[in-house]
Amino acid sequence: MNLSSTDALSLSLLSLAEYFRTCCKPKVRQILQCLFAILNIPNQSQRMEIRTLMQIGLIYRYYTKNQELARIYLEKALSLSLTVNQFEDVVGQCSSSLADLYVEINEISACKDIIRRGLEHSKGHLFFQCKLLLQISQLSLNGQDYDAACQNLTTGIELCRTSNSFYLEALFLLSKAMIFMLKRQFQDLNDIFARCNQIMEHFDRISSGEVVVSSANNVFPKKDLLFTFSLALHVAHFTASAYATHNTAEFFHWMHNDSLCILVYLLTVVNNVQCGLMEKALKYIDRAHLHIDKLCRSPLSKVEHNFLLSVRAILHENAAICRLVMGNNALAIKDISLACQYCSANSKLLENHRPQLHTLLGMYCMSMNLLPNAEIHFNTVLRITRCIDLWTYVNLNLSICYFNCGREADFCTVLDRVTPDKLQTKSDSIKAASCFVKGLQMFCQNRIPESK
């Protein structure tokens, strides 16, 4: 194909810019000089101009601290690309990058508008359709709008199924499964697991006979969190092994390998705590912290930094639970203090974790027989939490506080809120705890047959 002198010069400058970008230390000034030179070429095509504006915006976005210039150039590229036919990749890239930028400056409404417009104008590009759907689902999840998140993920599942994109379909399915877990809708997980198993079998068939996927049901019986995440790891494995590269849209990074590794540690910790294996949980907590320390030695984006803060906070919360159960109160309060410290570094994180932190402080006060202080923390949780399971759990502990203080009237009032027949929870553990406290009340009232 014969290139015009304008195209040839533009491609030469692009190649030179890419050379500077891939140097051991990217030469940002030279990259921008090459890109701006492309814009100054006479009779430049509109498509090349738009792509160059996008590249300038991306360089400012990811290689400099000047996010305002990044926003200006990306918005200009997006605005112009909407006037050109069949430019879905530029629309998708600009929309996705702008969405991330708006999240960082907490302009959530503008972020959602950008994503919706990007979805509308990139319908012919599966990669960016999926990426934008995952981004808007994450925004809904951050705002605890689980229904909207599920709706967007369902759209992604249907899109991937229509396009025969099994890998991306698995990512959407796994994301939806995690939301169902957050909503405690465990009965809705069966269909997702069944479909994921079909996808795993498909990957197994195309792996030329190599045995990679084991039966998740056999490895992790009845451990939904680990089962779901094991599927995610298998999917990631097939991408890394080039089994899922027959479709160009599937060159899709759901999560960086290091982040995936940290989440595996985190889920293992949570599972061990729930199974009562406290020493084992503490061992994995230490491993996770070492891995995070290693990551922190490298430059991190704001999103990555906030992710690690959140993981650190959750790890220390679980460590505090282990210490309290094991009777090591001195170390427990240190872990609670560290969790508070990490949460305080981010206002959104502190808002999300405030109920859990007050619960842990209340439990610590109970273990130290500081019952008035425990009461203050538990009542704070009851005012601010929106989680029905946490609300029930705290009420049960508050009733124990009143019982130990001899405040029978308050004990009966609180216990009346969480009697077994009134509970809305699906947690067997909380139901059992409610029955225990109710039985304790009847025992103290000398109603022995009923207490049994």
pTM of the model: 0.65
pLDDT value at 38 more than 50 = yes
Instruction: Determine if residue 276 is left, alpha or beta; phi over 0 gives left, psi from -120 to 50 gives alpha, anything else beta.
Output: left
How much is the pLDDT for 1? Answer: 43
Last residue of a domain, one of 57, 79, 104: 104
Would you state the pLDDT for residue 39?
92
Query: Is the pLDDT at 212 greater than 60, yes or no?
Result: no
Write the pLDDT tens digit of every residue in 46-97. Answer: 999 999 999 999 999 989 989 999 999 999 999 999 998 888 999 999 999 9
Rounded CA separation 234/218 (Å) = 15
Among all chains, which residue has been given the structure tokens 């049994």?
452
Q: Give domain status of residue 88, yes or no.
A: yes
Q: What is the mean pLDDT of residues 377-384?
A: 90
Least confident of 109-118, 141-150, 409-418: 409-418
Which pLDDT belongs to residue 52?
94
The pLDDT value recorded for residue 232 is 55
Cα separation, 92 vs 79, in Å, equals 12
Q: Which of 59, 78, 104 is the last residue of a domain?
A: 104
Q: Counting Cβ atoms within 10 Å, is residue 156 exposed (0-12), middle (13-18) or buried (19+)?
A: buried
Residue 130, pLDDT > 70, answer yes
Q: In the predicted model, what is the mean pLDDT of residues 155-162?
A: 92
Per-position b or e across 287-305, b if 16+ CB within 10 A of its CB: ebbebbeebeeeeeeeebe
Cα 142 to Cα 104, 136, 153, 202, 383: the distances in Å are: 13, 10, 14, 33, 21
Cβ atoms < 10 Å from Cβ of 154? 15
Q: What single string gives the DSSP state of each residue in 407-450?
A: -HHHHHHHHHHT-GGG-----HHHHHHHHHHHHHHHHHTT-HHH
Tell me which residue range forms the domain holding 409: 392-452
Domain contains 129: no
Sorted by sequence, the CB contacts under 8 Å of residue 341 that are 6+ apart come out as none
Predicted confidence at residue 19, as pLDDT, reads: 92
Q: How many domains, the chain? A: 2
2 inside domain:
yes
Of the residues 86, 104, 122, which one is the last residue of a structural domain?
A: 104
User: What was the pLDDT predicted at 235?
Assistant: 52
- Is the torsion defined by CA of 227, 229, 234, 238 positive or negative? positive
What local confidence, expressed as pLDDT, does residue 388 receive? 83
Task: Quote the crossing angle between the two packed helices 166-182 and 126-142, to the nearest 10°.
Answer: 10
Looking at the domain assignment, is residue 205 inside a domain?
A: no
**Residue 3, both tokens:** 């290139």
- Asked whether residue 51 is domain-assigned, the answer is yes
pLDDT 10s digits, 396-452? 888 888 888 888 888 788 777 877 777 777 777 777 777 777 777 776 666 666 656
Rounded mean pLDDT of 30-43?
92
- Residue 79: the pLDDT is 94
> Mean pLDDT, the chain, as a whole number?
81
pLDDT at 218 over 70: no
pLDDT beyond 70 at 26: yes
DSSP states of 334-372: HHHHHHHHHHHT-HHHHHHHHHHHHHHHHHHHHHTT-HH
CA pair distance 290, 303, nearest whole angstrom: 20
Residue 87 lies in a domain: yes
- Kindly report which listed range (138-147, 233-242, 382-391, 422-431) carries the lowest average pLDDT score: 233-242
Q: Determine contact, residues 271/226, Cβ cutoff 8 Å.
A: yes
Residue 38 is part of a domain; what is its CATH number?
1.25.40
